[in-house]
Chain A
Amino acid sequence: MGDRGLLLEFGDEINYEINQRVRRMALALQLETIPGMIEIVPTYRSLLVLYNPLILPLNTLKNRLKQIEESLPETPLPEPQFKKIPVVYGGVYGPDLECVAQYHGISPDEVIRLHCSKPYFIYMIGFMPGYPYMGELPDALITPRLKTPRLSVPKGSVAIAQKQTGIYSMESPGGWQILGRTPVELFDPQRDPPALLKMGDWVQFYPISEDEFKEWNR
């Protein structure tokens, strides 16, 4: 990718096994010190290695990556963490809850029950600091994006699009269908690590009341 990025592709679909291979490679690279390797960006199915070509020739980097990849099966993956995330659903907090329910011909309560019915795997953090891309939604909740994205989605909004669910860690424009909002702080630049969630972890949502939401950070 350009003259200072090397894109490693592990498959061409959103798939747990493929993503685990991306993660395994990312973790292995984090343990390496390769002079001239600036940064790695792991995503759903690919991983970008940013390098300084003045220090690290492309062929040297490619050979090194090949060696690392060949030794991958021995790299153990850390145990994933499970996090429970509270959500106040509907109303001003989840302006698309009713529409999503109508789209599927079910009640808003059923949408909430389904959304909270299983843990979701975090495929990657991206789009904005701390934003988790998670999946897969139960089949009965698969919903297209909004036709017209919103100019501003409030921080903490819990949303769905296609098979994915995510949390807006900051206020931003966005086109996902918003079901609710969490009072939990997903990103704090002063914290180490700055993001609450990381790739490879699992999240399960549970409903809270508006009062609980308001009391959460008191």
Chain B
Amino acid sequence: MEPLAAFEVLEPGILTTVQDGGRFGFSQFGVPPSGALDPFSFRVANLLVFNHRNEACLETTLMGLKLKALHEFPIAIAGGDLGPTLNGEPLEMWRTHLLIEGDIIAFKKVRTGCRAYLAIHGGILVPQVMGSRSTSLSGKFGGLEGRPLRKGDVLQRPVLPSPLTHLGLRFPKEWVPLFEKEPILRVIPGPQDDHFTPEGLHTFFSASYEVSFRSDRMGIRLNGPAIERRPDVEESIISEPLLAGAIQVPGDGKPIIILNELVTGGYTKIAVIISADLTKVAQLKPGDRIRFQPISIEEAHRLLEDQEECLEGFKESMERR
């Protein structure tokens, strides 16, 4: 595909990376999945610009990203409301816009959530590494040279006919997730919930935890009451697999939510956040407070099916237009 310069980066913001649906099949070599932390918003952004579900987008964190459009193409922004503007005027999220050459997109102020996804029609063209365009920051590969965006970078997109007939699409308001400051995250207990005392488990399921400033794409550290471990078990376990949403409890008893950049770990995991709530997890920012609630696997699968039905329903409504 012929690449075409789409955006010039005027300001990279706090942290902006190229992410797609993730890199799978290489964990046996220690390669983490990376990919968009908020899978729901990422997919909506891609749907709005008629991309395949795993096309590479920009994931921008909190504030500061400023881009200049270098030609005419459609975009959409979904996820946390980081106050996006177009040439200084507020830009509606969760809908398709057509940019023209010289347009300036800027993220000014965090209103809700933590991460926004900017999808461009055709996706961001960077080389695939191990089958994915996602940036691995710790591995320094994928995305744009394995690093966050910098001032002066130029992002490419493939040359595609503009789907002008589809402009002005909106994702239904009632389906837009609310990124509350005190969400309840639903979890499936285990695999090592039996390493904690009944009091420890009670603490975990009743206390409110605050998101620490020491949080990044690897994990979200939490401040709050320590979770009591049984006196007869070791603090660490033999290193075993991890996945996004796993909640590790290290020696100090303060839980850490694991995100997309780790494959294995040697701390006990008290519970794993359900897939349908990963969107809420990705939108947590320092200072937010969370609570944990246990549910069954069957219930978790039903919630994921509901989320999928809403995305598929929107996709079908677009195709009918």
Contacts and interface: CB of A to CB of B under 8 A. Distances in A.
B130 interface: yes
A126 B30 contact: yes
Given A129-B31, A172-B138, A194-B31, A2 B241 contact: no
Looking at chain A's contact residues, the main secondary structure is loop
A3 B241 contact: no
A48 B263 CA distance: 10
B243 interface: yes
A124 B29 CA distance: 8
Contact of A53 (B246, B272, B304): B304
B191 interface: yes
Interface in B258-273: 263-264, 269, 272-273
Contacts of B32: 129
B29 A130 contact: yes
B241 A47 contact: yes
A41 B27 contact: yes
A50 interface: yes
Contact of B28 (A40, A54, A190): A40
B153 interface: no
A1 B241 contact: yes
Contacts of A41: 27-28, 241, 263-264
Interface string B133-156: 000101111100000000000000
Given A2-B272, A44-B238, A45-B238, A194 B26 contact: yes
Given A43-B241, A50-B243, A195-B30, A3 B264 contact: no
Nearest to B140: A170
How many chain A residues sit at the interface, stated as a range, is: 35 or more
A160 interface: no
B29 A54 contact: no
B297 A3 contact: yes
Contacts of A187: 29-30, 139
A142 interface: no
A159 B262 CA distance: 20
A8 B150 CA distance: 43
A2 B245 contact: yes
B31 to A, nearest CB: 5
B263 A126 contact: yes
A5 interface: yes
Contacts of A43: 238-241, 264
Nearest to A50: B243
Contact of B275 (A4, A26, A48): A4
B256 interface: no
A21 to B, nearest CB: 14
A2 B246 contact: yes
A48 B243 contact: yes
Contacts of B305: 54
Contacts of B142: 189
B138 A170 contact: yes
A88 to B, nearest CB: 24
B24 interface: yes
Contacts of B28: 26, 40-42, 125, 198-199
A13 B238 CA distance: 7
A189 B300 contact: no
A198 B243 CA distance: 21
Contacts of B140: 170
Contacts of A190: 129
B188 interface: yes
A5 B308 contact: no
Nearest to A164: B239
**Of A1, A44, A124, A198, which is in contact with the most chain B CB atoms at under 10 Å from its CB?**
A1
Contacts of A127: 30, 239, 263-264
B301 interface: yes
**Of A2, A39, A190, which is in contact with the most chain B CB atoms at under 10 Å from its CB?**
A2
Contact of B301 (A13, A53, A169, A194): A53
30 contacts: A1-B190, A2-B187, A2-B273, A2-B274, A3-B275, A3-B304, A4-B275, A5-B241, A12-B238, A14-B238, A38-B24, A39-B24, A40-B27, A41-B263, A41-B264, A43-B239, A43-B264, A44-B238, A46-B240, A53-B275, A54-B308, A127-B30, A129-B26, A130-B30, A169-B30, A194-B29, A195-B29, A198-B28, A198-B29, A199-B28
